[in-house]
Amino acid sequence: MFDRQKKGERAVLLLPYARGDGDAARRAEEFTELVKSAGAEVLGNITARVEDPNPRFYVGSGKADEVAEAVRALEADLVLVDHLLSPVQERNLEKHLGVRVVDRAGLILDIFAQRARSHEGKLEVELAQLKHLATRLVRGWTHLDAQRGGAIGNRGPGETQLETDRRLLGERVKQLTKRLEKVQVQRGQQRRARLRNTVPRVALVGYTNAGKSSLFNAITVGDVYAADQLFATLDPTVRKLDGLDCGPAVLADTVGFVRDLPHDLVAAFRGTLAEARDADLLLHVSDASDEERDLLQRVVDQVLEEIGAGDLPQLRVMNKIDLIEAEPRLVRDGEGRPTQVWLSAATGAGLDLLREALGELLGGDRVQSELHLPLTAGRLHARLKAAGAIAGESVDEHGWRLAIDAPRAVLAALGGEDAGPVRALIERAEASGG
């Protein structure tokens, strides 16, 4: 076994693909960009067709020998694999190649660790990294004399070290989980305050490097870091959005999505992803100059499904039209509702069309009316208040007089046998077109 290095920056890329995979070239290009975003120098790449994964190396032994020769010839100190490896495969490759091996999940986690800035983001990344590391403890270090134990004569310092590592890791995971829960309670209180103010909530989502942060800065008085690289921003940033026909709204910039995002990372980044789940409207930003934008939109939709935001209304935003010399335009469906805006955050072309579409969608989907509830409807009143649907209220001997101002979808989701007055309110609003 070789000794693990703390950091390697001269990398050889191993790019597995399957027969008939027409997306292999795009995957290779994206993985190279991920590696550059992590700060590594790409010395070369080796493709490997994998139909039946080798349980030892994932790739065949011949391909593993080819990678080993490239590592020696190029004097690389790191091999990055564009696939999720099992702990056994990762360790076997490291032993065979003599350098550190990092799979796709480990690479993305490393990038997130570099980019997280907020206290919550750093906690979320560390928690995801520890969960990833937990599967790689066994036989992971060269200082362990005995890896497995239990039988007489087979207990030794190796087993003791492993158990110590596991215990320390488990304790740290518990600490991080508790601290995250506390931070998320605070963020939840801030989110509920926005709900009580009945301000429409909009979240920017999209494939990483689609230009979300640039668009965020262009339509708000924001200062979010934006760069032409993958995962330029990770932490959620919220700004007030003024100048809409429907009144002010709240806009949140979220982390960019990418295919094969590590499950532990999706699970850990509840703070960032909650901004998307709790939104009234999603602005799905795509790079209009990308020939595979339709495929990447499907990847984003799949992640949205995973986090419970797949049913939220979307407005598609085709960004970077200046790169294809296209004209800004607003696309509507058969009922006249805005569905897509073509614009350029860099030049500002089409931003007025985006504001027009937002004003229509956020204003048209809101119910603004008065609702009378008897004092016996306390549970329904509490649910309306928790949903942030009450803009003002008074009470007398006949019950509550409520000024309702909320998205129609929020009211419709209240449900319950006692929600008849709310359903009637929605029906009246639909009949009057308000």
Per-residue pLDDT in tens (0 to 9) along the chain, 434 residues: 444 444 458 899 999 988 877 777 878 888 888 888 788 889 999 999 888 899 999 999 999 999 999 999 999 999 999 988 888 899 899 999 999 898 888 888 887 777 666 676 677 777 777 777 776 665 444 444 444 444 434 344 555 566 666 777 778 878 877 887 777 676 666 655 555 555 778 989 888 788 888 899 899 865 544 444 455 455 567 888 888 877 778 888 877 777 776 666 666 555 556 667 778 889 999 999 998 899 889 988 988 887 777 878 899 999 999 999 999 999 998 888 899 999 999 999 999 999 999 988 887 667 788 999 998 998 899 888 877 778 889 998 889 999 988 777 667 767 677 888 888 888 887 776 65
pLDDT of residue 356: 92
Q: What is the C-alpha to C-alpha distance for residues 190 and 44, in angstroms, rounded to an integer?
A: 48
146 close to 159: Cβ distance less than 8 angstroms: yes
pLDDT of residue 87: 86
Structure tokens at 56: 């030892």
Report the alpha-carbon angle 95-100-105, nearest 5: 115
370 burial (CB, 10 Å; 0-12 / 13-18 / 19+) is: exposed
Distances (CA, A) of 322 to 166, 296, 326, 348, 410: 53, 20, 6, 10, 37
Element (H, E) at 301: helix 293-306
Q: In what order do the strands lie in the sheet with 399-407?
A: 366-373, 399-407, 390-396
Residue 399 sits at φ, ψ, to 5 deg, of 130, -155
- Of the candidates 425, 420, 370, the residue with the CA atom closest to the CA atom of residue 400: 370
Element (H, E) at 325: none
Q: What is the C-alpha to C-alpha distance for residues 197 and 191, in angstroms, rounded to an integer?
A: 10
Q: What is the C-alpha to C-alpha distance for residues 434 and 429, in angstroms, rounded to an integer?
A: 5
233 close to 114: Cβ distance less than 8 angstroms: no
Q: In what order do the strands lie in the sheet with 201-206?
A: 237-241, 249-253, 201-206, 281-287, 314-319, 338-342, 329-332
320 close to 354: Cβ distance less than 8 angstroms: no
pLDDT of residue 346: 92
- Of the candidates 352, 359, 422, the residue with the CA atom closest to the CA atom of residue 389: 422
State which amino acid sits at residue 129: Q
Please, what sign has the CA dihedral across residues 264, 96, 11, 58?
A: negative
State which amino acid sits at residue 413: A
Structure tokens at 96: 């065979």
340 close to 318: Cβ distance less than 8 angstroms: yes
Cross-strand partners of 238? 252
- Cα dihedral 23, 26, 32, 34 in deg (nearest 10): -90
User: In terms of residues, how long is the chain?
Assistant: 434
DSSP state of 151: S
- The distance between the two most distant Cα atoms of the chain, rounded to a whole number of Å, is 87
- Of the candidates 78, 63, 70, the residue with the CA atom closest to the CA atom of residue 11: 78
Element (H, E) at 393: strand 390-396
- Of the candidates 212, 201, 191, 220, the residue with the CA atom closest to the CA atom of residue 254: 212
Structure tokens at 356: 């027009």
Q: What is the C-alpha to C-alpha distance for residues 331 and 337, in angstroms, rounded to an integer?
A: 8
